[in-house]
Amino acid sequence: MIVAAHRQERPWHGERLGASGPLAPPPAYAADCYFCPGNARVSGARNPHYRDVLVFDNDHPCVGPDAPRELEPPAGIYRNAPANGLARVVCYSPRHNVTLAELEVAEIERVLGALRDQYVDLGSRPEVNHVLVFENKGEVVGVSNPHPHCQIYATNFVFKTIETEAVLSRRYLKEHGRPLFQDIIGSERDDGRRVIVENASAIAFLPYFARYAYECYVAPKATHASLAGLNAGEMQDLALALKVLLVRYDNLWRMPFPYVMTLHQAPTDGADHSGFHFHVECHPPLRKPHLLKYLAGPEIGGGNFLGDTLPEEKAAELKGVSDVHYAALHG
Ligand SMILES: [Zn+2]
Ligand SMILES: [Zn+2]
Distance 324 CA to ligand 1 centre (A): 24
Count how many Cα atoms sit within 13 Å of the Cα of residue 105 in the half-sphere of its side chain.
Answer: 15
Backbone angles phi, psi at 190, to 5 degrees: -60, -40
Q: Which SS3 state, helix, strand or coil, does residue 82 take? A: coil
Q: Which SS3 state, helix, strand or coil, does residue 120 take? A: helix
Active-site annotation holder among 130, 149, 264, 273? 149
Mean local confidence (pLDDT), 30-38:
95
Report which bound ligand comes closest to the CA of 211: 2
Task: Give the other-Cβ count within 10 Å of 122's Cβ.
Answer: 20
Count how many Cα atoms sit within 13 Å of the Cα of residue 307 in the half-sphere of its side chain.
Answer: 19
Distance 68 CA to ligand 2 centre (A): 30
pLDDT band at 291 (very low <50, low <70, confident <90, very high): confident
Rounded CA separation 179/200 (Å): 20
Rounded CA separation 221/304 (Å): 29
Task: Give the other-Cβ count within 10 Å of 155's Cβ.
Answer: 24
Rounded CA separation 158/121 (Å): 17
Report which bound ligand comes closest to the CA of 31: 1
Report which bound ligand comes closest to the CA of 92: 1
Q: Give the whole-number percent of the chain exceeding pLDDT 70.
A: 91
Distance 85 CA to ligand 1 centre (A): 26
Report which bound ligand comes closest to the CA of 95: 1
Distance 18 CA to ligand 2 centre (A): 30
Q: Are 245 and 101 in contact (CB under 8 A)?
A: no
Is the pLDDT reported for residue 7 higher than 80?
no
Distance 28 CA to ligand 1 centre (A): 8
Rounded CA separation 106/55 (Å): 18
Report which bound ligand comes closest to the CA of 218: 2
Rounded CA separation 122/46 (Å): 23
Distance 49 CA to ligand 1 centre (A): 12
Beta bridge partners of 203: 198, 219
Q: Are 304 and 298 in contact (CB under 8 A)?
A: yes
Task: Give the tens place of pLDDT for each residue, 197-226.
Answer: 999 999 999 999 999 999 999 999 999 999
List the shell of residues around ion ligand 1, using CB closer than 5 Å.
Answer: 30, 33, 35-36, 96, 147
Count how many Cα atoms sit within 13 Å of the Cα of residue 73 in the half-sphere of its side chain.
Answer: 4
Distance 143 CA to ligand 1 centre (A): 13
Task: Give the tens place of pLDDT for each residue, 162-196.
Answer: 999 999 999 999 999 999 999 999 999 999 999 99
Rounded CA separation 278/203 (Å): 12
Q: Give the whole-number percent of the chain exceeding pLDDT 90.
A: 72
Mean local confidence (pLDDT), 80-94:
92
Distance 214 CA to ligand 1 centre (A): 28
Q: Exposed/middle/buried for 141, CB within 10 Å: 0-12, 13-18, 19+?
A: middle
Distance 215 CA to ligand 2 centre (A): 11
273 catalytic? Reply is no
Range from 78-87, 232-241, 303-312 that averages highest in pLDDT? 232-241
Q: Which SS3 state, helix, strand or coil, does residue 94 take? A: coil
| Cα 159 to chain centroid, rounded | 14
Report the pLDDT value the prediction gives residue 329, as an integer from 0 to 100.
80
Rounded CA separation 226/119 (Å): 8
